[in-house]
Amino acid sequence: MTVKVAFQSVAAMALVALAVAVPMGTALAGPTLDAVKARGEVVCGVHTSLYGFGAPDDKGVWRGIDVDVCRAVAAAVFGDDKKVKYVPLSAQARLTAVQSGEVDLLSRNTTWTLTRDTANGLNFTGINYFDGQGFMVSKKLGVKSAKELSGATVCVQTGTTTELNLADYFRANKMELKPVTIEKYEEVTGAFVAGRCDAITSDASQLAAIRANDTPNPADFVILPEMISKEPLGPSVRQGDDQWFDIVKWALFAMIEAEERGLTSANVEAALKSPDPNVQRMLGVTGDLGKGMGLDNKWAYNIIRTVGNYGESFERNVGMGSKLQLARGLNAQWNDGGLMYSPPIR
């Protein structure tokens, strides 16, 4: 009889499992915006600790150019940029986190590629940093060009486009490669600084962050001139929810457009009285632009008021107002020699 009892309890467990499993199929139905509003916060996937892009400061407040995208989306939805729950993700975990719906959006210096935009089930909403992959070496090594790196041991973070570009570059130039691939950003940097590798490869902005933040003496390290890839970094969302896709896309565009129109967190209050019809539309003084996305008409006003425009975000996080001291370069406005260009907000 004990055998039968065991079987019955297995059957009972199976039924419980079935009951638990059923909602999985229906979880897709609700649009993300409704879920976010009901929850009262945006769940945003960010870097674990990349200074300038996504890292908590010494008071535990998340800061960075990627973090500002999360804040902009929260400001657009709630009028409050603090209604964000930050989920730090490793390079490996990030794509799965978006696919599975663990995060509402991913804003974690992620390169926009065709595979990720299609077969991986993501939708990239735009580009908030135009980057390229480079190499950093110790000055003591006396290397002047990436072409001299044949036979070098190179530290690289796993699960990145960087890893593929590295292998491609060495193959294309018939150079011998000894990669050391480690999952965690902190461990890769640690291994490089300890001298496990001759060179470390990553996006140039990230190398600057490592040099400024993680090396004992930044002057001992040099970033080589070659850029071996295009790395357009941007936020992404899950496929299948066009409304949410639009909100994240236009939250970033609003920041870029605000810079072009000279709207800043300091002057946006006064700009509400601007006679310019473009500014009036954008700030929700006239028109119904927010409604089309299921948002308040003050969505862009709230973004600029709390987060600031793209230029402000750039300068305080990675530009001259930060330790990284990065020049605008490709990330300047289109009418200023860069690639930042927002479609018309009308």
Partner 1 sequence: MPMTPASSPHRAVSGTHVAWWNDRRIRGVLYQVLVVVGVLALVAYLIDNTLTNLAHRNIATGFGFLGREAGFGVSESVIPYSPADTYLAVLVVGLLNTLKVSVIGIVLATVIGTLFGVARLSRNWLVARFATIYVETLRNIPVLLQLFFWYSLITEALPGPRQALNPLPGIFVSSRGLKLPEPVWQTTHLWMGVAFLAGIVGAWALGRWARLRRERTGALFPSLQAGAALIVGLPVIVWLLSGAPTEMSVPELRGFNFTGGVTVTPEFTALLIGLVLYTGTFIAEIVRGGILAVAHGQTEAGLALGLSRGQVLRLIVLPQALRVIIPPLTSQYLNLTKNSSLAVAIGFPDLVSTANTAINQTGQAVEGIAVIMAVYLTVSLSIAGFMNWYNQRIALKGARG
Q: Given the rule CB under 8 A, which of 6-14, 283-291, 313-321, 336-344 is the region that contacts partner 1?
A: 6-14
Work out how close the CB of 88 gets to partner 1 at its nearest, in angstroms, rounded to a whole number. 16
Token pair belonging to 228? 């071996």
Q: How far is the CB of 295 from partner 1 (least distance, A)?
A: 24
Residue 230 touches partner 1, criterion: CB under 8 A: no
For residue 130, the Cα-to-chain-centroid distance in whole angstroms is 12
Question: Rounded to an integer, what distance in angstroms lies between the CA atom of residue 47 and that of residue 235?
Answer: 12
From the list 187, 242, 269, 336, which residue makes contact with partner 1 (rule: CB under 8 A)? Answer: 187
**Of 57, 168, 269, 336, the one binding partner 1 by CB under 8 A:** 168
Please say which residue, 118 or 145, places its beta carbon nearer to partner 1: 118
166 touches partner 1 by CB under 8 A: yes
- CA distances 317 to 143, 246, 312, Å, are 30, 25, 8
Comparing CB distances to partner 1, the nearer of 101 and 329 is: 101
Describe the strand order of the beta sheet including 84-89 as a list of residue ranges: 84-89, 42-47, 105-106, 236-238, 122-124
52-71: contacts with partner 1 (CB under 8 A): none
206, two tokens: 């990230």
Secondary structure element (H or E) that encloses residue 6, with its range: helix 2-26
* Stretch binding partner 1 (CB under 8 A), from 36-44, 173-181, 284-292, 316-324: 173-181
Distance CA(315)–CA(330), nearest Å, equals 14
Return the number of the residue (98 or 268) whose C-beta is nearest partner 1. Answer: 98
Q: Segment near partner 1 (CB under 8 A), from 49-57, 69-77, 165-173, 312-320?
A: 165-173
> Of 176, 224, 172, which Cα lies nearest the Cα of 201?
224
Would you state the structure tokens that stand for residue 24, as one six-digit string?
């999985």
Q: Which residue has the tokens 């975990």?
A: 93
Site membership for partner 1, residue 297 (CB under 8 A): no
- As a whole number of angstroms, the distance between CA 332 and CA 255 comes to 13
Instruction: Pick one of 35, 88, 132, 158: the residue that binds partner 1 (CB under 8 A).
Output: 158
- C-beta closer to partner 1: residue 160 or 302: 160
DSSP one-letter code for 173: T
Q: Establish if 20 lies at the interface with partner 1 (CB under 8 A).
A: no
β-bridge partners, 177: none
Please report how close the Cβ of residue 171 comes to partner 1 at its closest, in angstroms.
Answer: 6
Query: Segment 117-156, which members bind partner 1 (CB under 8 A)?
Result: 118-121, 141, 149-153
Structure tokens at 310: 């793209």
> DSSP characters for 254-313?
HHHHHHHTT--TTTHHHHTT---HHHHHHTTSSS-TTGGGTS-TTHHHHHHHHT--HHHH
Closest CB to partner 1 among residues 13, 266:
13
CB of 5 to partner 1, least distance (A): 10
181 binds partner 1 (CB under 8 A): yes
Cα separation, 324 vs 321, in Å, equals 8
Positions in the binding site for partner 1 (CB under 8 A):
3-4, 7-8, 10-11, 14-15, 17-18, 21, 24-25, 28, 91-92, 95-96, 99, 115-116, 118-121, 141, 149-153, 158-160, 163-164, 166-168, 170-171, 177-184, 187-188, 190-191, 194-196, 198, 238-240
